[in-house]
């Protein structure tokens, strides 16, 4: 347990000691904040239109500002998380520091959980930072707090599962760029999985629909926290971690 914490804290520190984490956070924050602002202005325009029809009550502030912003943030994370996770194992193997870790009395899962926990802390910081602009809305209107929290939970779960996929990709190579590309490709594939859903017939279509990230995430944005969606993200994360464990064990044998 102690080793997991030790590794997690070192990972988190090393992220903030390099300019990478700061740059990613700055870019992510600036762009999502801009998108949020755009959504708010768009809402105002819509508000004027709806007023002329006398249907202002049907226009949900949360649906028109917070939900699209969190939706866009997810797309940004799809691009950015592979860049955060690519170093986790690949960089250690490339720099040779892996030998110091691998010759320590640690089970593979301890190393993986340590690195993953460090990553989760970073992602928690990221999601908190991204959520800051949304709270400004409370000064000007009455957004749905429950829906906002459900959306943020969804974003964190999405980020956490993306992180596990990225970690798995990083464990499979000693080249960070290859790790980033592999993770990005996999995540994008999961993102668009449902596109084939209608053509795939009822059985395959349902399966592709379930595999697709978008549907599960969308539910959180509308304020619905269901166990199906929770389980989906947890399963995706667990699969990533177990794959990484398999890789580390196989590496001892393959060399």
Partner 1 sequence: MPEIMIEISDLTRNYGSTKALDSIGFQVQRGEVMGFLGPNGAGKTTAMRILAGILAPTEGSVHVAGLDMIANPVAARAKIGFLPESPPVYDEMTVREYLTYLAGLRRVPRARLRGAVEHTMDRCGLKHVADRLLRNLSKGYQQRAGIAQAIVHSPEVVILDEPTVGLDPIQIREIRQLVRELGGEHSVLLSTHILPEVRMTCNRVAVINQGRIVANDTLEGLEQKAASSGSFFIRWLRPPDPELLRQVPGVACIQEKQGGWTITPCKGEDPIPELVHRSAAQAWDLRELVPTGESLEEIFLHLTTREEDGETSAVETSREVLS
- The sign of the CA dihedral 241, 246, 249, 252 is negative
Number of alpha helices (DSSP H) and beta strands (DSSP E) in the chain:
13, 0
Element (H, E) at 15: helix 2-17
Residue 43-82 contact track with partner 1, rule CB under 8 A, x = bound = ----------------------------------------
CB 164 within 8 A of CB 239: yes
Name the minimum Å distance from CB 246 to partner 1: 14
Which residue from 2, 45, 52, 199 is in contact with partner 1, where contact means CB under 8 A? 2
Name the minimum Å distance from CB 251 to partner 1: 9
Name the minimum Å distance from CB 37 to partner 1: 36
Distance of alpha carbon 139 from alpha carbon 132, whole angstroms? 13
Nearest residue to 65 via CA among 44, 95, 86 = 44
> 46 or 95, CB closer to partner 1?
95
Q: How many residues bind partner 1 (CB under 8 A)?
A: 24
CB 105 within 8 A of CB 6: no
Q: CB within 8 A of 47, min separation 6: which ones?
A: 56, 59
> 60 or 94, CB closer to partner 1?
94
Q: Which stretch binds partner 1 (CB under 8 A): 1-9, 72-80, 156-164, 232-240?
A: 1-9
Site for partner 1 in 83-122 (CB under 8 A): 95-107
CB 219 within 8 A of CB 229: yes
> 133 or 176, CB closer to partner 1?
176
Name the minimum Å distance from CB 205 to partner 1: 43
Distance of alpha carbon 152 from alpha carbon 242, whole angstroms? 26
How far are the Cα atoms of 58, 99, 107, 237, 238 from residue 243, in angstroms, in the given order? 46, 20, 15, 10, 8
Name the minimum Å distance from CB 82 to partner 1: 21
> 11 or 229, CB closer to partner 1?
11
Residue 6-45 contact track with partner 1, rule CB under 8 A, x = bound = xx--x---x--xx---------------------------
The encoded tokens of residue 140 equal 């000007």
> 8 or 77, CB closer to partner 1?
8
**Helix (H/G/I), strand (E/B), else coil: 175:** coil
Name the minimum Å distance from CB 250 to partner 1: 10
Angle of CA points 229, 233, 235, to nearest 5°: 110
> 98 or 233, CB closer to partner 1?
98
Nearest residue to 166 via CA among 91, 219, 116 = 116
Judged by the rule CB under 8 A, the positions of this chain that interact with partner 1 are: 2-3, 6-7, 10, 14, 17-18, 95-107, 252-253, 255
């Amino acid at each position: 347990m102690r080793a997991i914490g030790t590794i997690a804290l070192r990972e988190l520190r090393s992220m903030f000691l390099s300019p990478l984490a700061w740059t990613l956070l700055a870019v992510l924050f600036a762009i999502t904040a801009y998108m949020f602002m755009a959504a708010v202005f768009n809402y105002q325009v819509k508000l004027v239109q709806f007023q002329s029809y006398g249907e202002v009550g049907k226009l949900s502030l949360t649906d028109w500002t917070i939900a699209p912003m969190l939706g866009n943030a997810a797309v940004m994370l799809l691009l950015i998380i592979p860049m955060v996770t690519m170093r986790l194992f690949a960089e250690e193997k490339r720099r040779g520091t892996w030998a110091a870790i691998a010759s320590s009395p640690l089970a593979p899962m301890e190393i993986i959980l340590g690195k993953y926990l460090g990553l989760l802390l970073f992602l928690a910081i990221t999601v908190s930072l991204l959520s800051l602009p949304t709270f400004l809305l409370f000064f000007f209107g009455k957004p749905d707090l429950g829906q906002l929290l459900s959306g943020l939970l969804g974003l964190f779960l999405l980020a956490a599962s993306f992180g596990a996929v990225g970690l798995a990709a990083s464990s499979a190579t000693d080249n960070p760029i290859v790790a980033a590309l592999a993770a990005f490709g996999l995540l994008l594939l999961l993102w668009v999985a449902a596109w084939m859903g209608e053509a795939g017939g009822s059985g395959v279509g349902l399966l592709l629909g379930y595999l697709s990230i978008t549907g599960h995430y969308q539910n959180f944005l509308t304020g619905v926290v269901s166990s199906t969606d929770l389980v989906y993200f947890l399963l995706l994360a667990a699969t990533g971690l177990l794959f990484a464990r398999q890789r580390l064990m196989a590496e001892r044998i393959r060399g």
